[in-house]
Amino acid sequence: MNNKNFVENETKEVEANAHETLTTPDVSSPNDNKMEYDVKYSYLKNIPKLVRKNNTLVTLLFTFMLVIVSVVQSITYIRQAAIASNANKLSQYEYRFEFYKKLESIQETTAIIKLEPQQDLDESSNLNFKILSLLRESKLLFNKDVSRSINVILTEHMEFLWMLNNEGMSHNEYEKKMHILNEEYGNFLNSDSFKVYLDINRIE
């Protein structure tokens, strides 16, 4: 009986101790509090460093992206400038070649106008208008030397047409005058100064 009471008493004491252990709140020691404070302080102290580091990385990344964009824009500009330059050369060449074809047309029409009397009046009026237009264009497309040579040729054609319409001209006189005009025209086309203006590789 005594043994039974002893066991019961021991059991109750163990249970009481266990209950007390479970219900009694933990009391942190001063050392534990200090350690926890040090950890929190160290973390908070490092936050500005982390922020500065992140800001630096973001700034570097943004700067790098700006450099890339700048390089791409520069390459694009260079390509566009090259295209514009080539387009400008092509445009100038087309204008000059078109001018040459107009000049050639005037020369050919003047050469046959006496051979087809029915075209005298209409063609003469039309030719004068074309010649005046080319006189203006030559100042815009060519330098002074070439423009002067063109103006001489065109002016002689206008004088020839005026004489043909107002004073009349025999067939022999017509042929002699046309021979002179054709020779001057051919010399101009074969001149180095004019060839340069029809060379697309020489256009700036």
Q: Where are the domains of the chain?
A: 92-202
Q: Please report the pLDDT score of residue 4 as a whole number.
A: 47
Neighbours of 109 (CB within 10 A): 18
Neighbours of 99 (CB within 10 A): 20
Determine the Cα–Cα distance for residues 147 and 86; give it in Å rounded to an integer: 24
Q: Please report the pLDDT score of residue 42 as a whole number.
A: 60
Determine the Cα–Cα distance for residues 76 and 128; give it in Å rounded to an integer: 48
Per-residue pLDDT in tens (0 to 9) along the chain, 204 residues: 444 454 455 555 545 554 454 444 444 455 555 555 555 556 555 666 665 666 667 666 766 676 776 677 678 667 766 665 777 778 888 888 888 888 888 888 877 776 655 555 566 777 888 888 888 888 887 888 888 888 888 898 888 888 877 777 777 888 888 888 888 888 888 888 777 777 777 776
Q: Please report the pLDDT score of residue 31 as a whole number.
A: 56
Determine the Cα–Cα distance for residues 58 and 52; give it in Å rounded to an integer: 10
The residue among 132, 102, 117 whose CA lies nearest residue 164 is: 117
Q: Please report the pLDDT score of residue 24 as a whole number.
A: 46
Q: Please report the pLDDT score of residue 45 as a whole number.
A: 59
Core vs surface per residue 127-162: b (16+ CB within 10 A) or e: beebbeebeebbeebbeeebbebbbebbebbbebbe
Long-range contacts of 104-111 (CB under 8 A, 24+ apart): 105/130, 106/130, 106/131, 106/134, 106/154, 106/157, 107/157, 107/181, 107/182, 107/185, 110/157, 110/160, 110/161, 110/178, 110/181, 111/178, 111/181, 111/182
Q: Please report the pLDDT score of residue 44 as a whole number.
A: 57
Q: Please report the pLDDT score of residue 29 as a whole number.
A: 55
Determine the Cα–Cα distance for residues 179 and 160; give it in Å rounded to an integer: 12
